[in-house]
Structure 1
Amino acid sequence: MTREQREPRQKWTRKPAAPLSETAFTLLVQGVLDYGIFMLDPHGYIISWNAGAERIKGYRASDILGQHFSVFYPPEDQASGKPQWELETAVKDGRLEDEGWRVRKDGSRFWANVVITALWDDKGVLQGFGKVTRDMSERRAAQHALSERRRLFDHLVQAQETERRRIAWDVHDDSIQAMVAVGMRLELLADQMPQTHATELRRLDASVREAITRLRSLTFRLHPPGLDRHGLVEGVSSHLEDVVGDAWGMPYSFEHQLDRDPTPETAITIFRIVQEALLNVHKHARATRVDVHVRSGDGGITTRVVDDGTGAPMGQDGSRDHFGVIEMRERAETAGGWWSMHSRPGTGTTVEFWVPNPLPVPDPVPDPAEEAP
């Protein structure tokens, strides 16, 4: 006989929770440290104070009870009548939520989330207000740091693209034109020379034309047309059609599911990584097909480039530390995302990466005290 057969399983029943007593509730509110929770009378004077309010605002209960709650507001808000307006709004709408600067006992400012709730008795008479304050300074600082990082990233991408355009124009207007002129001179000389010399000159002319083709391909990679004007989807689609389909003769597919257009800097980042991944497929994978998938998710955009090649690592001489691979990873990580490559012999290679696609970040609200001379 097993233990389960010898000992009947104990049955547990869920008992209804006892109602929280007024004393216990008061202890709960008074002991909360992360939120300042206190009450105001109908005119805005403070009639209760908890430990969280003392921690956040710096006042002991004996210092603050009986004072008007407007003492927590900066002088400019007091002058504009904001505290009274908030109480009136809470009475009209039942509650008010606000974020803004508040003042501690020592005069320092902090960024607060504030909820004011109008409290009525069973006869509909206003008894006062419940006020909950949370110090959001750390979150605001983190948001500000993220915004600054995003601005620096955008400036970096724009600077890189500006330099690429400059190089592309220089190559097109200078180097390519000079080589075209050389090719024309070689053709003329070949027509005037004996056959033995003409053959060599035509070989040189063919080499010049091949170099011109490579340079034109380089200028296209440096600054592909269409991305600035038409966005990510059109840019990737045009690149696949012109390069993968027409130039390389490789079958491909392109699927995209975007809930909104990415920012120009995000679009450039995605395009450049896709461009490098496709170039590696062409050079190293010995693939017969490539598929590109772009979709929104997790606050950003996930992109996959999948080939049916040999599955060898996409690096020069079989090394994953090839510059192109490093560049793809660094582009994604600099944008605040991630990059990975999955490869197994005989099953092809998948390059997958995600970059954030944040909504435009509003400029932070300045602290007037910091701006004062």
Structure 2
Amino acid sequence: MPEQSDLELLVQNVVDYAIFMLDPRGHIVSWNAGAERIKGWTAGEIVGRHFSALYPPADVAAGKPARELEVAVAEGRLEDEGWRVRKDGTRFWANVIITALRDDQGRLRGFGKVTRDLTERRAVERALDERGRLLAHLVHAQEMERRRIAWDVHDDTIQSMVAVGMRLQLLATRLTGEHQAAVTRLNDTVDAAVGRLRNLTFRLHPPGIDSTGLVEGLTRYLDQVVSGDGLTYELTHDLAAEPPPETSITIFRICQEALTNVRKHARARAVTVRLASAEQGVHVWVNDDGHGFEHAGENDPEPGHFGLIEMRERAEIAGGWCAVRGNPGEGATVEFWVPAVSRGGP
């Protein structure tokens, strides 16, 4: 028996891939250790049989094995994913590559076939897909509840307080002296409360994100809220496409919380927001030029800070990540990434 070459030894002893050869008619002529491990047949049991024995009966009846060889002959190779059958009849999800093998004269000598068992990967992908659908439902439910609360506050509480304010104004015109001043101060308090409630309804359900998209929604929010506090802003983006709705809402809410922290705590003059498509997701940076953090380089500068916790949890629930960093006197950065693969709406 001739000594095996190094290449033959390598192919024969690979266990993570089923690597074997077919003759021009599709009969199996070689069988490596990986093929035995993945498919269950020993070389003595399978060599000489037609490779259609590795396919589910329905695929054999539909002529799939023959068609795959025809495509490999015509195009040089074929790649496919689908169900294949082990010796014991159980199925596994496989990635298959069939390569037509020709000699120096271009004559077909047979086929090389490489198979990977992707059953575990497919199970993970299906679990992630289900998680994505649940996330879409969760985001939709949260936004609907926010919208309901915003409407209730706007249509009931705010309108009632506006009516109270009008009555107080009318009452103030009928009073004099200290009584008029007291009623006027009370009316000012009501006006201030109405303003805070209107800001709350805007935060709960900002107009525009549903109909105009993520960038326009962020732009409107920056115009109406951030600029109103005396901050200048810059928004840049390099998005390959509009993210799915649940992704857009997640990004908007994290940016909203980051910008709220800048307004309330950073003592900043300017803020920049940058969005970019990256790795089948959206990468976002929110930078400010404020006072930064007391402890330089600290990833969680304020343990227990609910705003930071909320940003991180939102990103992680969506399958992404969020980091916060900053140096004293050098501003702060909220950086996060979330996947932007649509997995079905609510």
Q: TM-score, normalised by structure 2?
A: 0.91
Q: In 2, distance between residues paired with 1:345 and 1:96?
A: 58
Residue 237 of structure 1 corresponds to 219
Match of 1:256 among 217, 237, 254: 237
Match of 1:332 among 294, 315, 319: 315
Q: In 2, distance between residues paired with 1:289 and 1:23?
A: 68
After superposition, the Cα gap between the structure-2 partners of 1:279 and 1:313, relative to the gap in structure 1 and judged at 3 Å, is farther
Q: 1:38 touches 1:132 (CA, 8 Å); kept in 2?
A: yes
Match of 2:143 among 145, 155, 161: 161
With 74-83 and 303-312 compared, the bigger mean Cα shift is at 303-312
1:131 aligns with 2:113: yes
Q: 1:72 touches 1:104 (CA, 8 Å); kept in 2?
A: yes
The alignment partner of 2:116 has SS state of: strand
1:31 aligns with 2:19: no
Q: 2:267 touches 2:290 (CA, 8 Å); kept in 1?
A: yes
Match of 2:191 among 209, 233, 236: 209
Match of 2:25 among 23, 34, 43: 43
The alignment partner of 1:76 has SS state of: helix
Q: In 1, distance between residues paired with 2:194 and 2:343?
A: 44
1:144 aligns with 2:126: yes
Letter in 1 for 2:260: L
Match of 2:54 among 66, 69, 72: 72
Q: In 1, distance between residues paired with 2:335 and 2:107?
A: 62
Residue 346 of structure 1 corresponds to 329
Residue 303 of structure 1 corresponds to 284
Structure 1: state its 5+ residue gaps. 1-20, 363-373
The alignment partner of 2:82 has SS state of: strand
Cα offset, 1:53, TM superposition: 0.7
With 267-276 and 182-191 compared, the bigger mean Cα shift is at 182-191
Residue 269 of structure 2 corresponds to 288
Q: In 1, distance between residues paired with 2:343 and 2:104?
A: 44
Q: In 2, distance between residues paired with 1:213 and 1:324?
A: 22
Q: 1:338 touches 1:355 (CA, 8 Å); kept in 2?
A: yes
With 159-168 and 333-342 compared, the bigger mean Cα shift is at 333-342
The alignment partner of 2:231 has SS state of: coil
Q: In 2, distance between residues paired with 1:199 and 1:115?
A: 86
The alignment partner of 2:189 has SS state of: helix
Q: 2:230 touches 2:269 (CA, 8 Å); kept in 1?
A: no
Q: Cα deviations across residues 101-157 of structure 1 (Å, max 9, x unaligned)? A: 001011111011111122233444333222111111122122222222222222221
Q: Return the index of the structure with the highest Cα Rg.
A: 1
Letter in 1 for 2:330: T
With 338-347 and 213-222 compared, the bigger mean Cα shift is at 338-347
After superposition, the Cα gap between the structure-2 partners of 1:134 and 1:312, relative to the gap in structure 1 and judged at 3 Å, is closer
Q: In 2, distance between residues paired with 1:34 and 1:98?
A: 18
Residue 82 of structure 2 corresponds to 100
After superposition, the Cα gap between the structure-2 partners of 1:313 and 1:119, relative to the gap in structure 1 and judged at 3 Å, is same
Q: Cα deviations across residues 243-300 of structure 1 (Å, max 9, x unaligned)? A: 111x212222222222222222111111111111111111111222222222223432
After superposition, the Cα gap between the structure-2 partners of 1:312 and 1:61, relative to the gap in structure 1 and judged at 3 Å, is closer
Letter in 1 for 2:250: T
Q: 1:313 touches 1:319 (CA, 8 Å); kept in 2?
A: no
Match of 1:272 among 237, 253, 269: 253
Cα offset, 1:335, TM superposition: 1.7
Q: Percent identity?
A: 61
Q: 1:29 touches 1:50 (CA, 8 Å); kept in 2?
A: yes
Letter in 1 for 2:147: R
Q: CA RMSD in A?
A: 2.0
Structure 2: state its 5+ residue gaps. 296-300
Residue 93 of structure 2 corresponds to 111
Q: In 2, distance between residues paired with 1:162 and 1:28?
A: 59
The alignment partner of 1:306 has SS state of: strand
Number of residue pairs the alignment of both structures matches? 337
Q: In 1, distance between residues paired with 2:304 and 2:294?
A: 10
Residue 171 of structure 1 corresponds to 153
Residue 17 of structure 1 corresponds to none
Q: In 1, distance between residues paired with 2:266 and 2:107?
A: 77
After superposition, the Cα gap between the structure-2 partners of 1:361 and 1:215, relative to the gap in structure 1 and judged at 3 Å, is closer
Q: In 2, distance between residues paired with 1:288 and 1:100?
A: 57
Q: 2:94 touches 2:119 (CA, 8 Å); kept in 1?
A: yes
Q: In 2, distance between residues paired with 1:46 and 1:121?
A: 19
The alignment partner of 1:127 has SS state of: strand
Q: In 2, distance between residues paired with 1:305 and 1:121?
A: 60
Higher relative contact order (CA 8 A, sep 6+): 2
Q: 1:313 touches 1:320 (CA, 8 Å); kept in 2?
A: no
Q: In 2, distance between residues paired with 1:341 and 1:65?
A: 59
Cα offset, 1:361, TM superposition: 5.3
Residue 298 of structure 2 corresponds to none
Q: In 1, distance between residues paired with 2:289 and 2:160?
A: 41
After superposition, the Cα gap between the structure-2 partners of 1:26 and 1:342, relative to the gap in structure 1 and judged at 3 Å, is closer
Q: 1:40 touches 1:46 (CA, 8 Å); kept in 2?
A: yes
Letter in 2 for 1:100: G
The alignment partner of 1:118 has SS state of: strand
